[in-house]
Amino acid sequence: MPRDVTLVARGMTFTLAGDAKLLNPVIAVRAGERIRLVLKNEAPGLLHDIEIAAWDVQVNQIGAGETADVTFVVPNQPGRYEYRCRPHAEMMSGFIEVTP
Ligand SMILES: [Cu+2]
């Protein structure tokens, strides 16, 4: 079973499902871990997506009220990797931190 990580798009930022205050949060994962990355768009009138370019992982663009997800295995390379919303990368980007 993959572990769910849910990012909620609110306005022009990402937040975690349980914490609306921390903007564009750092997401901690382990190398080799299987993750289901879920995007919930709660931003009326805005289309959002997620890309982790270094790993060629994408969640397709969705509209307000929609949810989309992608499941992937974290590569075995510790470090920080950027995630971002492609249309709004200047405001909507953060890091995934991989630990061994
Ligand atoms: Cu966006």
What are the C-alpha distances in Å from 8 to residues 21, 48, 76?
11, 10, 26
**Cα 74 to middle of ligand 1, angstroms:** 23
**Cα 15 to middle of ligand 1, angstroms:** 12
**Cα 46 to middle of ligand 1, angstroms:** 7
Q: Is the pLDDT at 16 greater than 90, yes or no?
A: yes
**Cα 100 to middle of ligand 1, angstroms:** 30
**Cα 45 to middle of ligand 1, angstroms:** 11
Domain ranges of the chain: 3-99
pLDDT (tens digit per residue) in 26-74: 999 999 999 999 999 999 999 999 999 999 999 999 999 999 999 999 9
Residue whose pair of structure tokens reads 């871990």 in the numeric block: 33
What is the C-alpha to C-alpha distance for residues 76 and 78, in angstroms, rounded to an integer? 6
**Cα 96 to middle of ligand 1, angstroms:** 17
| CATH 2.60.40.420 holds for 3-99 | yes
pLDDT at residue number 93: 98
Q: Is the pLDDT at 17 greater than 90, yes or no?
A: no
Residue whose pair of structure tokens reads 């289901």 in the numeric block: 36
| Nearest CA among 78, 81, 74, 5 for reference residue 36 | 5
Given a contact cutoff of 8 angstroms between Cβ atoms, the answer to whether 56 and 69 are in contact is no
